[in-house]
């Protein structure tokens, strides 16, 4: 597959709390109820988990880096795409800044036309859900 089939989307957001709080929510796969798009997360082992959407669509994840309060990375794959996700967590005077980047390679060339918009929409939903989870603390 050509490199032109790789799509990248990055989102940056700030939260009015410490890095540990944001990190704990993002990396705790046992507590996923705050995610409005998921029905469940199944832990396979310490570094692998599966996410299921509300419609039962599954994506497989393999954690590749986990530096507490700094960096979280994983590979992901489902029937439509494969790729990498990277999360950078930075302490700021007024809270925490996160930068999440997704790079995916779509398996179906037709989907390639829509994937960038889809990633942006998914990232916006994730950030909105995360904001709500933090606001409830």
Paired tokens of 122: 């998914």
CATH number of the domain encompassing residue 69: 3.30.530.20
Digitized pLDDT (tens) for each residue of the chain, 137 residues in all: 455 578 999 999 999 999 999 999 999 999 999 999 999 999 999 999 999 999 999 999 999 999 999 999 999 999 999 999 999 999 999 999 999 999 999 988 888 888 989 999 999 999 999 999 999 99
Tokens of 128: 């909105």
Give the global pTM: 0.92
What is residue 17's DSSP assignment? S
The number of domains in the chain is: 1
């Amino acid at each position: 597959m050509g490199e032109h089939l790789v799509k990248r989307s990055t989102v940056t957001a700030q939260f009015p709390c410490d890095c540990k709080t944001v990190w704990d929510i993002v990396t705790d796969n046992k507590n996923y109820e705050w995610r409005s798009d998921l029905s469940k997360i199944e832990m396979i082992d310490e570094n692998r988990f599966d996410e299921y959407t509300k419609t039962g669509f599954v994506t497989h994840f393999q954690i590749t880096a986990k530096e507490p309060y700094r960096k979280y990375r994983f590979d992901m794959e489902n029937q439509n795409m494969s790729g990498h996700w990277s999360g950078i967590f930075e302490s700021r005077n007024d809270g925490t800044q996160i930068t999440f980047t997704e790079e995916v390679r779509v398996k179906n060339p037709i989907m390639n036309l829509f994937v960038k918009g889809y990633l942006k929409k998914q990232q916006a939903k994730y950030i909105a859900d995360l904001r709500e989870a933090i606001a409830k603390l």
